[in-house]
């Protein structure tokens, strides 16, 4: 883990929370989509969702319909989910197919995206099917998790988030062998930054998340620090012990890697792999997804108990918190207060991680957002 970072910037005055407009202004949200989300790596699904050639997984990302398919060459590819003829959607949900057939006019594509056939085109002068293919989106598989990026020139994930792959494997050596087991989601009724800020500080844990603080982590050793040279926040803690532990937590400590802006890989003590990922849908709304993984893709009694405890305590508690924060950000009486940064910039009751988040966000869109509001 990295050494604590000094966020004081040599100033006596503490850093303040961001002004409310960054969480409420539609213009800033639009700029965030253009300058941050359209250039970031986004989690889609786990590779175990697509084990065989011809498997596909359709999804929506930032108002764009996309799908991932495994080719006959065993390569996963992502495409815009639209026929190149007249724009009909190609596939729905999940499934398995030999070729991709448009439901409208039966244009047929290979799993590689190349056009295979178009009825009636064989005798049409100038029709060259070799020049027609589905539009591909950048894809990477990272520790078994499938990510996509609208920016075709984006750096690989190992360069965006250096050291995370190795650190995750060290904490959970069989992480790349895990299989998807369960997922649930919820509407958060808040801006995406409200959601990820809440996730990336535990200043509220002792007061709100008592079950998590007693059952999963050790509050005395819990810390969140920027990790490596990328935009990563590393949550670390010794495992919970004693009667309050949710399960047998022996085997490894707690670790979480938040990959800015919208994904976090969590490894609960003992190698229980789980994820958070966020899908912003509006300036004041976000869908949060909670995923769980196991060795064989089965939710056994112990994992089910952990899922239930997490969903009924930490997950449900956070939903209430972020909704009320978003409501408060709309108040005429709100004035951004100082972030509570503990001496040395570490520990469970310190918001130094929020200062890092704000810095990354403002570096991405802050100048343009301020210019957008300038008279």
Confidence band (pLDDT; 50, 70, 90) for 12? low
pLDDT of 56 higher than 50? yes
Confidence band (pLDDT; 50, 70, 90) for 45? very high
pLDDT one-digit tens code per residue, 106-133: 999 999 999 999 999 998 999 999 999 9
pLDDT confidence of residue 20: 98
Going by C-beta distance under 8 Å and a sequence separation of 6 or more, which residues neighbour residue 314? 209, 211, 212
CA 209 to chain centre: 22
- pLDDT, mean of residues 245-268: 96
Confidence band (pLDDT; 50, 70, 90) for 13? confident
Confidence band (pLDDT; 50, 70, 90) for 346? confident
pLDDT one-digit tens code per residue, 77-86: 999 999 999 9
pLDDT one-digit tens code per residue, 283-304: 999 999 999 999 999 999 999 9
- Segments making up each domain of the chain, as ranges: 21-41+164-373, 42-142
pLDDT confidence of residue 76: 98
Sheet holding 285-294, edge to edge: 179-187, 285-294, 272-282, 263-268, 254-259, 232-237, 223-226
pLDDT confidence of residue 107: 98
Q: Measure the CA–CA gap between 238 and 219, rounded to whole angstroms.
A: 8
Q: What is the CATH number of domain 21-41+164-373?
A: 3.90.380.10
pLDDT confidence of residue 206: 86
Question: What stretches of the chain adopt beta strand conformation (E)?
Answer: 42-46, 55-61, 64-70, 76-80, 94-96, 100-101, 108-109, 115-117, 136-142, 145-149, 179-187, 223-226, 232-237, 254-259, 263-268, 272-282, 285-294
CATH 1.10.10.10 fits domain 42-142: no
pTM of the model: 0.93
- Look up residue 116 and give its DSSP letter: E
Rounded mean pLDDT of the chain? 94
In this structure, the strands spanning 232-237 and 223-226 are antiparallel
């Amino acid at each position: 883990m990295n050494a604590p970072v000094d966020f004081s910037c040599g100033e006596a005055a503490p850093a303040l929370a961001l002004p409310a407009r960054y969480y409420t202004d539609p213009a800033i949200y639009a700029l965030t989509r253009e300058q941050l989300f359209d250039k970031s790596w986004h989690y889609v699904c786990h590779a175990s969702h697509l084990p065989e050639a011809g498997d596909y997984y359709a999804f929506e990302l930032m108002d764009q319909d996309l799908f991932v398919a495994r080719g006959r060459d065993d390569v996963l590819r992502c495409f815009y989910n639209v026929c190149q003829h007249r724009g009909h959607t190609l596939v729905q949900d999940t499934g398995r197919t030999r070729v991709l057939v448009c439901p409208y006019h039966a244009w047929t594509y290979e799993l590689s995206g190349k056009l295979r056939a178009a009825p009636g085109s064989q005798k049409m002068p100038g029709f060259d099917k070799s020049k027609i293919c589905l539009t591909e989106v950048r894809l990477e598989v990272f520790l078994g998790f499938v990510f996509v990026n609208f920016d075709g020139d984006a750096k690989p994930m190992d360069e965006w988030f250096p050291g995370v792959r190795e650190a995750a494997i060290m904490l959970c050596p069989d992480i790349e062998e895990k299989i998807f087991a369960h997922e649930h989601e919820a509407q958060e009724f808040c801006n995406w930054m409200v959601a990820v800020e809440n996730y990336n500080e535990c200043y509220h844990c002792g007061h709100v998340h008592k079950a998590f603080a007693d059952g999963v982590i050790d509050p005395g050793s819990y810390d969140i620090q920027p990790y490596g040279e990328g935009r990563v926040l590393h949550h670390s803690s010794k495992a919970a012990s004693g009667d309050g532990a949710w399960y047998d937590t022996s085997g490894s400590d707690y670790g979480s890697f938040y990959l800015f802006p919208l994904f976090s890989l969590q490894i609960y003590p003992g190698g229980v792999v789980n994820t958070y990922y966020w899908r912003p849908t509006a300036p004041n709304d976000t869908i949060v997804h909670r995923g769980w993984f196991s060795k064989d893709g089965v939710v056994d009694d112990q994992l089910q108990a952990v899922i239930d405890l997490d969903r009924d305590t930490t997950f449900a508690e956070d939903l209430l918190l972020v909704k009320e924060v978003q409501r408060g950000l709309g108040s005429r009486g709100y004035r951004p207060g100082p972030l509570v940064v503990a001496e040395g910039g570490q520990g469970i009751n310190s918001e130094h991680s929020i200062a890092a988040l704000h810095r990354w966000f403002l570096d991405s869109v802050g100048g343009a957002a301020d210019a957008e509001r300038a008279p």
